[in-house]
Chains A and B, each alone.
Chain A
Amino acid sequence: MKELRFRIIIILGAIALSLYLLYPTYQDSVNNKEVLSQLASYETKIKKSNPSISEVQLQEKINSIKDSILVNTPNYKSAREKRMKLGLDLQGGMYLVMEVNTAKLLEKLAKDPDEQFKQILAKAEADSKLTDENVVAIFARAMKAKNIRMSRYFGTIREEDNQIVKKLEQQETDAVTRAIEIISNRVNQYGVSEPSIQKQGSRRIVVELPGIAREEEAKKLLQGQALLEFKMVKEAEFAIGVMNKIDETLAAVNKIDSSASKSSLPKTDAAKKDEKQTEEQFAKEHPFFALARLIDPQGRVADAYVKESDRERINALLENPDVKKVMPDNVQFVYDAKPVKGNDGVNYYKMYMVNKEAELTGGVVVNAQANIDPTTSAPEVTMQMNSEGAREWARITGANIRKRCAVILDGQVYTAPTIEGKIPSGSSRITGSANMEEAKLLEIVLKAGALPAPIEVLDQRIVGPSLGQDSISKGLNSTWIGFLFVAVFMIVWYKQAGSFADVALVVTVLLQLGVLAGFNATLTLPGIAGIVLTMGMAVDANVIIYERIREELATGKTVKAAVDSGFKLSFAPIFDSNITTFFTGLILYQFGSGPIQGFALTLMIGLITMLFSQLVVVRVLFDFMLAKGYKINVG
């Protein structure tokens, strides 16, 4: 009995753990329903106030409201982070496989490409479409066959062919990293929730954008060259002056609004004199500074921290016609590309005020290299410009000593170093990167101007939200019906023992879902099929054991002895047969992609949880019944 208790505790523990892991998923679905009802009311409100609004604009507004609700409510957020995610095939969205076009890259890198070069390259490109080999390798081989040295087009004359090939391959890898950076930068600006951008193999990029409603726009995100700009950051005095004006204007607007809407509540003097302003009051009196918190209270720098969720609101405030009047039209606000995490666990973006007009664009950058400063051993990035750029750069740096210049890629700031002195040669050093990784990122960004990363789409799949919804309901239906079929059959066939099997079946699926949630796995439609299939396979072990027990009973053994030898003799075949299924699951996981991996994962997890519930849970049920002296009916 003591040993039995131990097993019961393990079983209950496993069930409790699964429920705990699944709770956020449940909570999230409840939250979603709440948010949807809130959104519905917003939608009618927006439609009322602006009947001529187009479907697209409305959708955009609703989406931004939805995002801000989700981000601003900590409960929603934490449930969302821990929930079981739905695959693109269930929630709709876009899936893209992209590859860096090495041929275009080689053409850009070549010293002086002639007709012959172009011919060899075109052939190499065509060949690469049919094999796994990369263009660089094929190109190098073709060159060798024609007895032309690689240094004819790349590198220096003294370099060996394989050295050059190695360098070109490095360039290719860099181009992939650059493309990933550019894409994530744009995707983040576009506000796609939970995008996934991954490198696959050496030069492929897999992008998953869930819930994209306007695919045309999303596709544009991924095309076109990135724009690298150098813009001067406004001096603190000027910027804070402008920000003060914006703040005052907004406060004035608020006052008019509130006096118009509320029947001018008489404010008590006590509240006015209260020196400790409550946050609400501060927000009312300083609507702008409440959202954009100045980093330096003394006002030596005008950078401000903005909460991730407040960016939309700041943008909306800046659209106000009164604000537009006080904001000089040659400046703009820009944000850092990467947020910093505040003490409250929320992401904050640094906001800068810069000149609208770029001093220089990235086309002038010839090369950039991250390295370690030998004297201070701090990471730094060196950057070279072409002669035209260098001339301009000398003038700009000379005129702006001690001022800051922001490096901006597609509208996002990557760094804003202070210009220490005039840079006459076009060769600059940028220090201040926190670590080598950051420096490397800056190198990649700086190269974006000179060396674009031409990418092409190999594989593109879009699932509309309605098809996804349809798949969810069909998946759920087949799960229920499959369960019902199996459960009813087991009871009809094995009577009481069959009901034990059904209990084990519920435990199997519960644990399976719990483990999936614990792994942060993504549920796909084939994944649901995996769950359904698991239910059919799960009772197999019961069948094998029960048939064996029947046989043993037929030989005249006591119930206890029959149960004992039934379980004992069935273990080997159950284990053998399930492990082979597990092996094929592993192979499928290795070779499959996306949804199929989801299927393989659910199947493998299902096999393990099923062994646990058949061999442990069912056994405990039997032992418990036998210990209590009940009779067991195996049909």
Chain B
Amino acid sequence: MRLFDNLNIDFMAKRTKFYLMSSAILLLSLITIFIKGVEFGIDFKGGSEIALKFAKPINIEKIRNDVDKLGIGNVEVKTFGDASGVLLRTELQELPKNVMLNVRTSIESEIAKVFPGVDKKVTDSTASSIVYSFADPATATAINNRLNQAGFQSTLDSMEPTNTKISVRMSIADLIKISLAENYTDNPFKVEKEDRVGPKVGKELKRDAVLSVILSLIVILIYLAFRFKFAFAIGAVIALFHDVLLTLGIFAILYGVIPGFNLEISVSVVAAFLTLIGYSINDTVIVFDRVREQMKIHKTLSIEENMNHAINRTMSRTIITVFTVMLTIIALLIFGGEVLRGFAFALFIGMITGTYSSIFIASAFVLDYSNRTKTKLTF
């Protein structure tokens, strides 16, 4: 079977149209990114996330109401997997002060149940833990055991026999789990996953992500400048930048539009960006390689003619190579499950824009560059 056998289109003459089209989409992307913003995942934002699987299907609305009552502010509640799974997420990493006070009251009432009027002191209290000090080690141990039975995360401050302190910890996930376990006694759940990311880690990740994207672009720029000519390298990198920005824009535009489709920027989506940078350069390289070959053979032809010829000749392989990768990406998108969906989608969009830009943007830029600066590119 053949594709585009004797294709002969004057791509270069139409380049203004493609510039306009790209600019329009890019502008739309940029506007959406600035106005609507891209939604970052927990990896970058920091926060707490917990996915639960119930024994029986559950009503998401009801869970939302239950969680709202906890007073920990805005908690995102959505289905996870099927109807019996739920994903809860908040940007908070630690309990707010007033909730911590409630928790403290319930800890102290628990203590009062067994040791009414016991002599206790709060020696340290942070946003996620309280340290109590008691008169003697035996009391501390007994209270520690009691609190553990009640579902609190209590530990003896040290294993020394003279230790009189216990520290009780309470995280957002713990609070959610305790309260849901109370509300759904007839429908027990298992924890599918639980993530808590501090602000520091998220910040570092964000910096690393941006750095790695920029670094990849620079590496590709240097390599192509070395293999071809600097103008070609610039053209290719501009095309890549275009791809990344466009994909990011589409993520921003589509976020929240398709129900059940989680389009937030997670670490794996960034990995997809890097992969598409590395991969979508392939098509550009194939075209450039052919342009170089043409320019060596047909020294008399204009660069424009050589480019048109090269693009027309390589069109079929450009389309087919992307198509085969698309096939596997579609397999991942459909069968890869929730965790890989964002990753596969980023690649899916990136492949389309990548092919488009290597055909219509990269070479066109080289041509304009050579026309503007009046440099004659030769190999």
Q: Which of A452, A475, A540, A578 contacts B324 (CB 8 A)?
A: A540
Cβ contacts under 8 Å, A223 to chain B: 155, 167, 169
Bound Cα distance A579, B224 (Å):
11
**A575-630 residues at the B interface, CB under 8 angstroms:** 576-585, 587-588, 590-593, 595-596, 599-600, 603
Cβ–Cβ < 8 Å partners of A600 in chain B:
271
In the complex, whether A272 has a CB less than 8 A from a CB of chain B is: no
- Are B1's CB and A547's CB within 8 A? no
**Is there contact, CB below 8 Å, between B220 and A583?**
yes
Q: Are A596 and B282 in contact (CB under 8 A)?
A: no
Q: Judging by beta carbons under 8 Å apart, are B274 and A588 in contact?
A: yes
Is A464 part of the contact surface with B, judged by Cβ < 8 Å? Answer: yes
Q: How far is the CA of A572 from the CA of B224 in the complex (A)?
A: 12
Provided the pairs A464-B191, A583-B223 are in contact, do residues A225 and B158 lie with their beta carbons within 8 angstroms? yes
| A224 at interface, CB cutoff 8 A | yes
Q: Are A220 and B1 in contact (CB under 8 A)?
A: no
A227: which of B158, B271, B327, B329 is its contact (CB, 8 Å)?
B158
Measured in the bound complex, the distance between the Cα atoms of B197 and A137 in whole Å is 25
CB-CB under 8 A for A361 and B160, given A130-B203, A459-B198, A464-B53: yes
Could you tell me the distance between the alpha carbons of A548 and B316 in the complex, rounded to whole angstroms?
Answer: 10
List residues of chain A with CB within 8 A of the CB of B320. 493, 543, 547
Produce 1/0 per residue, B255-285, CB < 8 A to A.
0000000000001100100110111011101
Cα(A49)–Cα(B312), bound, Å: 78
Return B10 CB to nearest CB of chain A, in Å. 20
Residues of the A chain whose Cβ atoms lie less than 8 Å from the Cβ of B329: 533, 536
Do B194 and A461 touch across chains, with their CB atoms under 8 A apart? yes
One digit per residue, 1 when the CB lies within 8 angstroms of any chain A CB and 0 when it does not, for chain B 277-299 equals: 11101110110011001000000
B275 smallest CB distance to A (angstroms): 7
CB contact between B281 and one of A358, A471, A580 (< 8 Å): that residue = A580
Q: 8 Å CB contacts to A: which residues of B187-210?
A: 190-201, 203-204, 208-209
Residues of A within 8 A of B331 (CB): 478-479, 481-482, 485, 532
A543 is contacted by which of B153, B209, B293, B324 (Cβ under 8 Å)? Answer: B324
* A215 contacts chain B at the CB level, 8 A cutoff: yes
Which residue of chain A has its CB nearest to the CB of B343?
A: A529
Could you tell me the distance in whole angstroms from the C-beta of A493 to the nearest C-beta in chain B? 5
Q: Which residues of B contact A189 (CB under 8 A)?
A: none
CA distance A544 to B157 in the complex (A): 66
A459 and B51 CA atoms in complex are apart in Å by 16
| A420 part of interface (Cβ distance < 8 Å) | no
A526 to B362, CA, bound (A): 30
Other-chain residue from A475, A532, A540, A591 in contact with B211 (beta carbon distance below 8 A) = A591
In this complex, the interface size class of chain B, counting residues with CB under 8 Å from chain A, is 35 or more
Residue ID in chain B nearest A585 by CB atoms: B278
CB–CB B328/A533 < 8 A: yes
A187 to B170, CA, bound (A): 23
Q: Across the interface, do A583 and B278 meet the contact criterion of CB distance under 8 Å?
A: yes
Also in contact, A458 and B198, with CB within 8 A (given A584-B274, A587-B274): yes
- Asked if B201 and A580 make an inter-chain contact with CB atoms under 8 angstroms apart, the answer reads no
Does A526 contact B198, Cβ atoms closer than 8 Å? no
Interface flag for B97 (CB, 8 Å): no
Task: Decide if A457 touches B313 in the complex (CB within 8 Å).
Answer: no
A475 to B347, CA, bound (A): 17
A539 touching B324, Cβ below 8 Å? yes
At the interface, yes or no: B317 with Cβ under 8 Å from chain A? yes
- Interchain CB contact under 8 A, B337 and A599: no
Contact A467 B51 (CB under 8 A): yes
Contacts of A588 in B (CB 8 A): 212, 271, 274-275
Instruction: List A contacts of B279 (CB < 8 A).
Output: 537, 581
* A130, A460, A595: residue with the most chain B Cβ atoms closer than 10 Å: A460
Q: A97-B201, A540-B325, A577-B281 are in contact. Are A225 and B157 (CB under 8 A)?
A: yes
Bitwise, A446-466 to B at CB < 8 A (1) or not (0) is 000000100001111111101
Write out, one digit per residue, whether chain B residues 121-135 have a CB within 8 A of any chain A CB (1) or not (0).
Answer: 000000000000000
For residue A230, give the distance in angstroms from its CB to the closest CB of chain B: 13
Interface check B336, CB cutoff 8 A? yes
Minimal Cβ-Cβ distance residue in B for A227: B159
Q: Which of A549-593 contact B (CB under 8 A)?
A: 550-551, 569, 572-573, 576-585, 587-588, 590-593
- Taking the complex as formed, is B26 at the interface, i.e. its CB lies under 8 A from any CB of chain A? no
B335 near A477: Cβ-Cβ < 8 Å: yes
Give which listed residue, B223, B271, B324, B326, contacts A596 with CB less than 8 A.
B271
Let me know if A587 and B216 touch, CB within 8 A.
Answer: yes
CB closest residue in chain B, given A411: B159
C-alpha gap A224/B278 in the complex (Å)? 47
A492 lies within 8 A of chain B by Cβ? yes
Q: How far is the CA of A471 from the CA of B341 in the complex (A)?
A: 12
User: When chains A and B are docked, how far (Å) is the Cα of A219 from the Cα of B331?
Assistant: 38
Contact status A544-B317, CB under 8 Å: yes
B74 close to A (CB within 8 Å):
no
CA distance A584 to B220 in the complex (A): 9
A584 touches B267 (CB 8 A): no
A219 to B154: give the CA distance in the assembly, Å. Answer: 11
Name the contact of B275 in the complex, choosing from A492, A547, A581 (C-beta under 8 A): A581
A154 CB to closest chain B CB, in angstroms?
23
Within 8 A of A (CB), among B229-258: none
Contact of B216 with A584 in the complex, beta carbons under 8 Å: yes
Given contacts A215-B194, A225-B157, A482-B332, contact A592 B285 (CB under 8 A): no
Q: Is B83 among interface residues, defined by CB-CB distance under 8 A?
A: no
Select A573's contact among B209, B286, B324, beta carbons within 8 Å: B286
A532 and B192 within 8 A (CB): no
Q: Which residues on B sit within 8 Å (CB–CB) of A578?
A: 282
**Complex-state Cα separation, A224 to B155, whole angstroms:** 7
User: A312 at the A/B interface (Cβ < 8 Å)?
Assistant: no
Encoded as 1 (CB less than 8 Å from any B CB) or 0, chain A from 220 to 235 comes to: 1001111100000000
Contact A470–B196 (Cβ < 8 Å): no
Q: Report chain A residues within 8 Å CB of B153.
A: 216, 219-220
CA–CA, A600 and B340, complex, Å: 15
- B160 with A227: CB separation less than 8 A: yes
Q: Indicate if A525 sits at the interface (CB-CB under 8 A).
A: yes
CA distance A219 to B161 in the complex (A): 22
State in angstroms the CA–CA spacing of A189 and B32 once bound together: 54
B347 touches A533 (CB 8 A): yes
Q: Answer whether residue A395 sits at the interface, using C-beta atoms and an 8 A cutoff.
A: no
- Distance in Å from the Cβ of B143 to the closest Cβ of chain A? 15
Is A155 an interface residue, CB under 8 A from the partner?
Answer: no
Interface: A118 (CB within 8 A): no
Judge whether A462 and B335 touch: CB under 8 Å.
no
Chain A residues near B377 (CB-CB < 8 A): none
| B58: min CB distance to chain A, Å | 16
Beta-carbon contact of B227 and A576 below 8 Å = yes
- Give chain B interface residues in 109-147, CB to chain A under 8 Å: none
How close is A480's CB to chain B, nearest CB, in angstroms? Answer: 8
| B residues less than 8 Å from A129 (CB atoms) | 199-200
Q: Is A381 an interface residue (CB 8 A)?
A: no
Query: In the complex the two chains form, is B192's CB within 8 Å of A584's CB?
Result: no
Q: Flag B337-360 by CB within 8 Å of A: 1 or 0 each.
A: 101100110010000000000000
Q: Which residues of chain A are within 8 angstroms of B159 by Cβ–Cβ distance?
A: 224-227, 410
Whether B161 pairs with A361 at a CB distance below 8 angstroms is: yes
> In the bound complex, how far is the Cα of B158 from the Cα of A582, in angstroms?
50
Q: Which residues of A contact B347 (CB under 8 A)?
A: 533
Contact A215 B191, beta carbon cutoff 8 Å: yes
**Least CB separation from A362: chain B residue:** B160
22 pairs from A and B in contact (CB 8 Å cutoff): A130-B203, A227-B159, A458-B198, A461-B195, A464-B190, A467-B193, A475-B336, A478-B331, A479-B331, A481-B331, A482-B332, A490-B324, A533-B329, A535-B328, A540-B282, A547-B316, A547-B320, A573-B285, A573-B290, A585-B278, A587-B274, A593-B267
| 4 A-B pairs with the lowest CB-CB distances in the bound complex, closest first | A584-B278, A227-B159, A536-B328, A536-B325
In the complex, given contacts A470-B81, A593-B267, what are 19 additional A-B residue pairs having Cβ atoms less than 8 angstroms apart?
A220-B153, A223-B167, A224-B156, A225-B158, A466-B190, A475-B336, A485-B331, A526-B271, A536-B325, A536-B326, A536-B328, A543-B317, A544-B286, A569-B293, A580-B220, A584-B220, A584-B275, A591-B211, A591-B212
